[in-house]
Structure 1
Amino acid sequence: MRTALVFAVSAALVAGTAVGLAPAAHATATTDAAGAAESGIRFVDISGDGGTVLKANVVTPAGADGSARYPVIVLPTSWAMPQIEYLVQARKLADAGYVVVSYNSRGFWQSGGEIETAGPKDVADASKVIDWALANTPADPAKVGMAGVSYGAGISLLASAHDKRIKAVAALSGWADLIDSIYSGRTQHLQAAALLGGAGYLTGRPGPELQRILGDFLSSDLSKEEEMIAWGKKRSAVTYLDRINANGTAVMLGNAWGDTIFPPNQYASFYEKLKGPKRLEFRPGDHATAEGTGLLGLPNDTWTNAHRWFDRHLKGADNGIDREQPVQLKSRSTGGYEGYPDWKSVGAGQKRIALDDTEHVWANVDSGANGGVVLLSNLLDQFLQTPPVASIPLLPRAFAGVWQSERYDSVQRVRGTAKLHTTVTATKESGTLVAYLYDVGPLGLGKLVSNAPYTFHGKTPGTPFSVDLELFSTSYDVPAGHRLALVVDTVDPLYIEHNPTGAQLTFSSPSADPSYVSIPLREE
């Protein structure tokens, strides 16, 4: 019943998003006597893998008559979005001299087939669309790129591993590791999975495999865990990293700090392993909100840089993007950009907060500390700088462990990934904990800096075990006079928890293995 309700709510939310985007992206194609679209936009059917019909639109540069060849960009649609999603950006790219083919991913809206969740058929579809573009448009076979938001980003990365013709990719708000995205810390990301599942049922036709995997995921059937992980690995670009590196694909990755569907850590890890031309951009916001205004035709840094990326790696334009620091971060606090030579340089300067006090926490009760609501909370943080808050002094200590730093005399810049190391003793063999890092002001009000869940199974009750947990990466400034607080509880609406009734968790700090939270701090 809980799952069905979340499906219904999440589906309505995504439906509203799709309807909201559609008016800004609508286009009409007029046709002259010869049958050519004067506006350069055509709506076509493309035969995908196995003959499945993919609904698509094609935008060509003005005046293209077949005598010249142009670089081509292929854009698979986002999860649950209609084929007009990218028309605004497609027109901008066409005006800059690109052929652009956008298509509705199989199983969604009017495209045929069933939802494969970036499976082998989706990857094969991408190659079929490239085949069609090279045969039916003035596209240059030596200058092929792919891009997309969310689902389109995931498919683009996977396709680049399997199709050597793809020279450049811009993967925005996507995933490189599907399991590390919605099952990080071995914990089901409930709201994220329900949102995707509900939207899939509302706007498409989930195949039997997806239905089974999603059902097992939400029902916490541990006997199906290995199957689920294998399913996710097949759909993760990191599995095919060697192929992408061998192809030398130029990869641009963009994401939001607060992405509650595809958190930033897995993108950062993937970025570090890429060997070809690469760029990583993180900005404030939640899933796809960093690119959303660009889909509506408004100024947007993410799309501007994606265009520059293709200009450099498909056209050979000397626009300077390859001379900039390849890691570009926009702070949640100041809105300014910072450049770094690589991801490991972002988190340099780790400082530890000792977690000396032993804390006993009863499970199954939400202490009031939580990560917010999928899509909504971090969207508010993006535009209003209002992250989820909690009154740290009022958190019930029976249900939450709390440790605090000293007050800082100067601004402390959190950049990168905070890491928790602690020792846990549980009264039951299974359990879930959620760690939160808060910026605490003089009155005790804590603003959420980061969080992450952790679930364990098969532990011996009463026997201590160590926990190492990476919190979600971020860029946040702690004002002078404030302190940082680590809070740990056992319930968060974002996640499925595995705490048996009556369970208790004890967090201790043995002298031989002290507990701490390591935070990437830079003093201003």
Structure 2
Amino acid sequence: MRRRWWALPCAALVLTGIAPGAAAEQAPVQVRDGRSQPVFTADPVRETVWVETGLDGDGDGVVDRVAADVVRPSGTDRPVPVIMDASPYYSCCGRGNESELKTYDEQGRPVGFPQFYDNYFVPRGYATVLVDLSGTNRSEGCVDVGGASDITSAKAVVDWLNGRAPGFDAPSGGGPVEAGWSTGDVGMIGKSYDGTIANGVAATGVEGLRTIVPIGAISSWYDYYRSDGVSFGFNPSGLARTVEEGGRPDCGPAKQELDAGSPANGDVTPMWTERDYVPNADRVTASVFAVHGLGDLNVKTLHLGQWWDALAERDVPRKLWLSQTGHVDPFDFRRAEWVETLHAWFDHWLLGVDNGITEEPAASVERAPDVWADEPTWSGELAKDTVLHPREDGLGTQPGSGTASFTDDPSLDEYDWAADPDQPSPARALFSTAPLTSDVRIAGTGSVTVTATPSTPTAHLSAMLVDYGPATTRDYLGRGEGIRTLQTESCWGENRPGDDACYFDTEATTTDVDFEIIARGWADLANHESLSEERPLEPGEPQTMTFRLATTDHVVPAGHRLALIIGGTDSAFIVAPRQPGEIGLDLSATSVTLPVVGELPALTAAGPDKPSVRPERVPARPDVQLNRDVLPGS
């Protein structure tokens, strides 16, 4: 166990009136107004340590080592905590809005550290450690997309920082290196794949991991590639080859295992189960500061919702930001507030500073572009499940009767279905309320139950919840997913040769819409009995299935209509079944369960006249290349 100097009373850390220089640098940290101060001004130590993982992923008979690039304060003999970002993207794709890569000098020593963490936090008494996941950049082994190799890559470095794993000064051979400069206290941070690794490492319960900050992160890899029995049309082996920069020749068996474990029919397999971190949330001892875009159609909000719910059951200390953006880092949609809040968060959990961050509002939700609402506890934890029923006359609180039907047309998608609610369509069934008499807030993860009768042996289903009415939102479906990069720059921390702290500023992009899809879900009716084994459907025989909608936090304003749309193949997301056909719905046995905050106003169905709201501008559809996670800037 590392010695933690911050166990002393916090008042002892407040060293005011110390001039910069050697005396200040010998102090563990200087705190003023609840924040650590940039007193470590000398050039930091930069080094690479290769840490043994205990695995031999590439099958060469030698234990794999992963490269951990370290930058830490110089001129102090006091141990420091660590901010760590473990990523597969440091050489293939880059990190942040400017797709920064790691750089090295002629001797191979690290120079350029992507993003602002080192520039800002090292002068304040932290080390920053950027880890190349196994099989990427300068690390040995093979990528396994969220499996044992990926997670062990990062966990091994946490163990090394705590004196439990061997480190060396070379990728093979070399001399041993210990992290005597480390307190052993680690905070993991990262967006997308990086934040996913933070989730996975936290789910191991590794000692020394004090906090994680997952941003737009995956909690179950099955739910990234599949949804309740249907496929999104891509497999993890493609991502592995990308981050390995084409695929390493000795990693073929690892790719074969990925392909074998991800069948196209969308069944849950042991490979997917291994990569689901939610069941192990009870092992998490780290605090969690989660950030997610409500418009994120890459790492969908279901990942945040199911992870958050599991952590809530464990009563893990946690904080949440929900933006209107897509797959965007908070540094690029709320920069100053993000740096300030992150600073206070790390100071508390890694330096032991009693700065009140845990007494501040636990949740912050963007209600309109750049308009944020804070609350002491995220209301998604307090919402009550409310069941609504599709009826022949619309959507209401009382069960319906009769039937509805649609024909699966794989050339259409959710925006085709939603665009003309006042017009009948053979490709979907639409059920709407009358205009709401008061606001309705839906916060959390809902579900849809259908009793469907297919006309063929295969049937895929899509469902969506739609807010019909005019609004101005962030343009999360646009090119920047809700932001625009400007030509001006702002600087966050110390500039160093080859590693500056300045980044292009951004601003919100907005769009006027007449409807917004606020939650989606997809399923294969053949998996109605089990997600592990699909069974051929008997044409003409009804089957009942419940499947999940994505997590949301959305206020449907008074005067707007709330609608449920059920269709077949949503071509923006899922692949079509082998034999698309007609699907009938038994309305008396079909419903949608929504997490409603507060009281639900009296709802009336739309009546015989369907909503007469036709969008003046249909939002741009998501990029057909939905696996944006492998692209630069992810």
- TM-score tier (shorter): 0.7 to 0.9
Residue-by-residue CA offset, 1:35-94 (whole Å, 9 max, x unaligned): xx9632625242342554534432223xx3241121122221255544456441222121
Distance 1:316 1:45, change over 3 A: closer
- Note the C-alpha offset of 1:491: 1.8
1:77 and 2:87 equivalent? Answer: yes
Task: Describe how 1:240-319 pairs up with structure 2 within 5 A.
Answer: 240-244=280-284, 248-265=285-302, 266-287=306-327, 289-291=328-330, 293=332, 299=335, 301-302=337-338, 304-319=340-355
Residue-by-residue CA offset, 1:317-372 (whole Å, 9 max, x unaligned): 1222211343443335673123253565453373625333622111243444249x
Q: Tell me which residue corresponds to 2:591.
A: 515
Distance 1:476 1:214, change over 3 A: same
Within 2, Cα distance between the matches of 1:442 and 1:181?
Answer: 31
Q: Tell me which residue corresponds to 2:461.
A: 433
Match of 2:329, as an amino acid? A
TM-score (norm 2): 0.64
Distance 1:177 1:111, change over 3 A: same
More displaced 10-residue stretch of structure 1: 234-243 or 199-208: 199-208
Q: Tell me which residue corresponds to 2:607.
A: none
Asked if the contact 2:144–2:240 (Cα under 8 Å) also holds between the matched residues in 1, the reply is no
RMSD: 3.5
Distance 1:205 1:330, change over 3 A: farther
**Equivalent residue of 2:419, what SS?**
strand
Match of 2:212, as an amino acid? V
Task: Describe how 1:344-383 pairs up with structure 2 within 5 A.
Answer: 344-348=380-384, 350=386, 352-355=388-391, 356=400, 358-370=403-415
Asked if the contact 2:146–2:221 (Cα under 8 Å) also holds between the matched residues in 1, the reply is no
Give the one of 560, 564, 579 matched to 1:482. 560
Task: Describe how 1:184-195 pairs up with structure 2 within 5 A.
Answer: 184-190=227-233
Give the one of 175, 179, 192 matched to 1:150. 192
Asked if the contact 1:366–1:399 (Cα under 8 Å) also holds between the matched residues in 2, the reply is no
TM-score (norm 1): 0.76
Asked if the contact 1:175–1:181 (Cα under 8 Å) also holds between the matched residues in 2, the reply is yes
Asked if the contact 1:435–1:489 (Cα under 8 Å) also holds between the matched residues in 2, the reply is yes
- Note the C-alpha offset of 1:428: 2.6
**Equivalent residue of 1:336, what SS?**
strand
Q: Tell me which residue corresponds to 1:18.
A: none
Q: Tell me which residue corresponds to 1:212.
A: 256
Asked if the contact 1:192–1:260 (Cα under 8 Å) also holds between the matched residues in 2, the reply is no
- Note the C-alpha offset of 1:403: 0.8
Within 1, Cα distance between the matches of 2:155 and 2:426?
Answer: 56
- Note the C-alpha offset of 1:98: 0.7
Within 1, Cα distance between the matches of 2:213 and 2:542?
Answer: 45
Within 1, Cα distance between the matches of 2:86 and 2:556?
Answer: 39
Within 2, Cα distance between the matches of 1:41 and 1:320?
Answer: 32
Give the one of 96, 99, 104 matched to 2:132. 104
Q: Tell me which residue corresponds to 1:28.
A: none
Within 2, Cα distance between the matches of 1:218 and 1:494?
Answer: 21
**Equivalent residue of 2:116, what SS?**
helix
Structure 2: gaps (5+ residues): 1-40, 55-62, 95-100, 103-111, 163-176, 392-399, 472-512, 527-534, 602-634
Give the one of 40, 56, 66 matched to 1:54. 66
Within 2, Cα distance between the matches of 1:339 and 1:461?
Answer: 50
Give the one of 536, 539, 543 matched to 1:461. 539
Match of 1:307, as an amino acid? H
Match of 1:60, as an amino acid? R
1:449 and 2:518 equivalent? Answer: yes
- Note the C-alpha offset of 1:432: 0.9
Within 1, Cα distance between the matches of 2:549 and 2:71?
Answer: 42
Q: Tell me which residue corresponds to 2:157.
A: 129
Match of 2:295, as an amino acid? G
Structure 1: gaps (5+ residues): 1-36, 372-387
Asked if the contact 2:455–2:540 (Cα under 8 Å) also holds between the matched residues in 1, the reply is yes
Match of 2:256, as an amino acid? R
Asked if the contact 2:278–2:307 (Cα under 8 Å) also holds between the matched residues in 1, the reply is no
**Equivalent residue of 1:47, what SS?**
strand
Distance 1:205 1:285, change over 3 A: farther
**Equivalent residue of 2:329, what SS?**
helix
Asked if the contact 1:59–1:91 (Cα under 8 Å) also holds between the matched residues in 2, the reply is no
Q: Tell me which of the two structures has the higher relative contact order, counting C-alpha pairs closer than 8 angstroms and 6 or more residues apart.
A: 2
Within 1, Cα distance between the matches of 2:265 and 2:544?
Answer: 25
Asked if the contact 1:115–1:205 (Cα under 8 Å) also holds between the matched residues in 2, the reply is no
- Note the C-alpha offset of 1:314: 1.7
Distance 1:194 1:431, change over 3 A: farther
Aligned residues: percent identity?
20
Task: Describe how 1:404-443 pairs up with structure 2 within 5 A.
Answer: 404-441=432-469
Asked if the contact 2:413–2:571 (Cα under 8 Å) also holds between the matched residues in 1, the reply is no
More displaced 10-residue stretch of structure 1: 494-503 or 205-214: 205-214
Q: Tell me which residue corresponds to 1:471.
A: 549
Asked if the contact 2:70–2:129 (Cα under 8 Å) also holds between the matched residues in 1, the reply is yes
Within 2, Cα distance between the matches of 1:192 and 1:280?
Answer: 30
Q: Tell me which residue corresponds to 1:164.
A: 207
Asked if the contact 1:250–1:277 (Cα under 8 Å) also holds between the matched residues in 2, the reply is yes
Within 2, Cα distance between the matches of 1:418 and 1:300?
Answer: 33
Within 1, Cα distance between the matches of 2:559 and 2:235?
Answer: 36
Aligned residues: 456
Distance 1:468 1:192, change over 3 A: same
Within 2, Cα distance between the matches of 1:494 and 1:360?
Answer: 21
Structure (1/2) with the larger helix percentage: 1
Asked if the contact 1:389–1:445 (Cα under 8 Å) also holds between the matched residues in 2, the reply is no
Within 1, Cα distance between the matches of 2:184 and 2:139?
Answer: 28
**Equivalent residue of 1:480, what SS?**
coil
Match of 2:281, as an amino acid? L
Residue-by-residue CA offset, 1:299-329 (whole Å, 9 max, x unaligned): 2545543332221122121222211343443
Within 1, Cα distance between the matches of 2:201 and 2:347?
Answer: 20
Within 1, Cα distance between the matches of 2:595 and 2:115?
Answer: 42
Higher Cα radius of gyration: 2
Asked if the contact 1:260–1:286 (Cα under 8 Å) also holds between the matched residues in 2, the reply is yes
